Structure 1
């Protein structure tokens, strides 16, 4: 289930980050500088958490994939075809979100594991 959720979330993130900026108000979305970084961090936290749960033995690959995805998004946004700008700090926010997502997923797995085996 986590794998499907990861793939659906990834598709949504790619769609929203690569959608031309002129369409965002029609979707009820406005992007400001501080909101943009927060949105990047949250999106990549969710992706990292879901990916970690879906493929628990492949965290290193997941981190590389998500880091590459974040960088690719920035390069494509900077291509001027969609009315967005390349911003390296968005990639930093992506990486911070990944760290948070992996931390939350790890903590959750440990907490759930303790309950399953009956440990305090």
Structure 2
């Protein structure tokens, strides 16, 4: 399961990078760019946790995902056909936060379970 999640994370990050850095006439996906960011980073957070579970890897996972989102925005700011957006980065962070909030809520709802 961990290997599949790690591979899925790599493939998802490659696909998101391609979508983020190529000219796109209309944003593909859910119809509202910020919602695409939230959904993408929620999925990335889930894959990262499945690939590297546990509290010990949480700082690393958060750094990876938020650094990745920030990196995309910085590169988009250098492209003439794209633009950087602090709101896009905020939507990325919201997606990561939603995943961790949902995970915590589910874990706390199960008696006898550890939130790792």
Q: Would the TM-score normalized by the shorter structure come out above 0.5?
A: yes
Give 1:103 shift.
Answer: 3.1
- Where do residues 17-56 of structure 1 align in structure 2 (5 Å cutoff)? 17-21=20-24, 25=25, 30-31=26-27, 35-56=32-53
Query: 1:8 and 1:102 mapped to 2: Cα distance?
Result: 21
The TM-score normalised by the length of structure 1 is 0.75
Structure of higher CA gyration radius: 1
RMSD over aligned Cα atoms: 2.4
- Report the equivalent of 2:102: 104
The TM-score normalised by the length of structure 2 is 0.77
CA contact (8 A) 1:77 1:84 kept: yes
Total equivalences in the alignment: 104
User: What residue ranges of structure 1 are gaps of 5+ in the alignment?
Assistant: none
CA contact (8 A) 1:52 1:102 kept: no
Please list every run of at least 4 consecutive aligned residues from structure 1 whose deviation after the TM superposition is greater than 6 angstroms. none
Instruction: Please state which structure has a larger fraction of its residues in helix.
Output: 1
Q: Greater shift after overlay, 90-99 or 12-21?
A: 12-21
